[in-house]
Structure 1
Amino acid sequence: MLAFVGLIKPIIPSVLVLWVGFLIYQFGFHNQHLSWVFYVSMALLTILILCADFLANKYFVNRFGGSKFGEYAALIGVVIGCFVLPPFGIIIIPFILVFIVELIQGYSFERAVKVSIGSIVAFLTSSIAQASLGHKSLKKQQ
């Protein structure tokens, strides 16, 4: 359940919390064991989730008409946003960086705002993907 809090308060690394929960479940309950198939599928989903955080920003900034530099600004913004202004930095920093980069590229104010909104859409999409991983893991443990 704590991993779901990480979706709302992004400073909590929800995927890491899920793995701690898996290990506590595996080694804390003697009569319940998770299979290797479970761990392999969760490892693959974890890799997918981690890539989704970065690639979603790149994809949606591009999809909303951003430049290559805007895409890279979104990626850098996600990393910086994890550490600056938690928990809101992961939303605000990519938005601001993409906005500034697009203005520097010569785009209009309106277009820079539109492209920056792509970074917010990316965050929401990534959160939905993380929620599905958490839901799958909770369903498996029941």
Structure 2
Amino acid sequence: MDIFLLIIGFLVALLGIIGSFLPILPGPLTSWFGLLILHFTGAVPMNWAFLGITLGIAILIWIVDYFIPAMGTKKFGGTRYGVIGTMVGLVVGLLAPIPFGIIIGPFIGAYIGEMLNEKNSGKALKAAFGSFIGFLTSSFLKFIAAIIFTGLYISIFWEYKSIFFTFS
């Protein structure tokens, strides 16, 4: 059962890294659940302080994630349409079979969103750039946190690996 939990926990931690770029999946929180699953194994002792601190960090990043793209858009004179366009563009960019769709999609989506609201293409381009920068900043922050949580997962596993693979 411990090996099953080890594999599931690792897959959840990896899913958290992918979730750093998907707007529907909270990356760091998902990676944290991988850590939690690892601590449910019989090989790793439950460390409530560690889990509480990492959960606090994951929740803080999750909350801040909602403000960073909006701050970037507003800083560059954008509106809510730019933020919505960024998210729609991200989904389209992920699904479209084009190179760098995950990067191009949010920018084009923000631009189209701002053009629907503001007919001035220069202002729309500036706001789209701000929305795009906010999206990149937010995604980078989530990605780094998810990578760190996955690294912690691997580190904890490595510390207790002999217990996982002891057959009696």
TM-score calculated relative to the size of structure 2: 0.61
Residues 21 and 112 (structure 1), Cα distance of their counterparts in 2 relative to 1, 3 Å cut: same
CA distance, structure 1, for counterparts of residue 23 and residue 66 of structure 2? 16
- 2:60 aligns to what? 48
- 1:101 aligns to what? 117
- 2:48 aligns to what? 36
1:73 matched to 2:78? The reply is no
Report if aligned partners of 2:114, 2:127 keep a CA contact under 8 Å in 1.
Answer: yes
**Any gaps of 5 or more consecutive residues in structure 2?**
1-13, 95-101, 156-168
Residue 115 of structure 1: how far off its partner (Å):
0.8
Residue 64 of structure 1: how far off its partner (Å):
1.2
Quick one: which of 137, 145, 150 aligns to 1:125? 137
SS in 2 for 1:85: helix
- 2:92 aligns to what? 85
1:19 matched to 2:39? The reply is no
Quick one: which of 91, 102, 116 aligns to 2:128? 116
Residue 73 of structure 1: how far off its partner (Å):
2.8
Alpha-carbon RMSD: 3.1
Residues 84 and 6 (structure 1), Cα distance of their counterparts in 2 relative to 1, 3 Å cut: closer
What amino acid is the match of 2:31?
L
TM-score calculated relative to the size of structure 1: 0.70
- What fraction of aligned residue pairs are identical, expressed as a percent? 25
Report if aligned partners of 2:39, 2:47 keep a CA contact under 8 Å in 1.
Answer: no
What amino acid is the match of 1:98?
E
User: Could you give the per-residue CA deviations for residues 42-87 of structure 1, whole angstroms, max 9, x where no partner exists?
Assistant: 2222222222332111100111123xxx0x3345456x63995373
Report if aligned partners of 1:11, 1:82 keep a CA contact under 8 Å in 2.
Answer: no
Residue-pair matches, total:
131
**Any gaps of 5 or more consecutive residues in structure 1?**
none
Residue 114 of structure 1: how far off its partner (Å):
1.1
Moved over 6 A (4+): none
